[in-house]
Amino acid sequence: MDTKKSSPALPHVTTSELFVGFLKVGLSGFGGVLPFARRMLVDKRRWLTELEFNEVLSLSQFLPGPNIVNVSIIVGRRFQGPIGALAATLGLMLMPLIIILLLAALYDQFAQIEAVRGASNAVSAAAAGLMLAVGFKMARPIHKTPWQVGIGVIAFAAIGLARLPLLWVLAVLAPLSVGIAWWQRR
Amino acid sequence: MAAPVISPVLLELARQFLTLSLLSIGGANTVIPEIHLRAVEIEHWMTDADFSEMFALSQAAPGPNVLIVSLIGWKAAGVVGALVAMLAMCAPSSLLTYHFANVWERFREAPLRIAIQTALAPVTVGLIVASGYVLTRTIDHEWLAYVVTGTTVILALTTRLHPLWMLAAAAVLGALHTGS
User: Structural domain of residue B78, as residue ranges?
Assistant: 8-107
User: Structural domain of residue A86, as residue ranges?
Assistant: 1-110
Minimal CA separation from A183 to chain B, in Å: 9
ipTM of the complex as predicted: 0.83
User: Is position A174 within any domain?
Assistant: no
Q: What is the mean pLDDT of residues B66-71?
A: 94
* Other Cβ atoms closer than 10 A to B149: 27
CB contact under 8 A, B174 and A149: no
Share of chain B above pLDDT 70, in %: 96
Number of domains in chain B: 1
User: Is position A66 within any domain?
Assistant: yes
Residue B144 pLDDT greater than 80, yes or no: yes
Pairwise CA distance, residues A173 & B128, whole Å = 15
- Closest residue, chain B, to A138 (C-alpha): B125
User: Is position B140 within any domain?
Assistant: no
User: Is position A160 within any domain?
Assistant: no
User: Is position B47 within any domain?
Assistant: yes
User: Is position B31 within any domain?
Assistant: yes
User: Is position B76 within any domain?
Assistant: yes
Q: What is the mean pLDDT of residues B80-95?
A: 96
User: Is position B139 within any domain?
Assistant: no
CB contact under 8 A, A159 and B93: no
User: Is position A43 within any domain?
Assistant: yes
User: Is position B93 within any domain?
Assistant: yes
Number of domains in chain A: 1
User: Is position A159 within any domain?
Assistant: no
User: Is position A147 within any domain?
Assistant: no
Q: Which pLDDT belongs to residue A5? A: 46
User: Is position B3 within any domain?
Assistant: no
User: Is position B82 within any domain?
Assistant: yes
Lowest mean pLDDT, pick from B12-26, B64-78, B107-121: B107-121
Q: Which pLDDT belongs to residue A3? A: 46
Interval A5-54: pLDDT, tens: 444 568 899 999 999 999 999 887 665 677 788 889 988 999 998 878 87
User: Is position A27 within any domain?
Assistant: yes
- Contacts of B106-115 with C-beta under 8 Å, sequence gap 24+, read B108/A55, B111/A182, B111/A185, B112/A182, B114/A185, B115/A178, B115/A181, B115/A182, B115/A185
Q: Which pLDDT belongs to residue A59? A: 82
User: Is position A89 within any domain?
Assistant: yes
Interval A94-109: pLDDT, tens: 999 999 999 999 988 8
| Best to test chain A binding among B123, B141, B159 (most A CBs inside 10 Å) | B123
Residue B71 pLDDT greater than 50, yes or no: yes
Q: Which pLDDT belongs to residue A90? A: 96
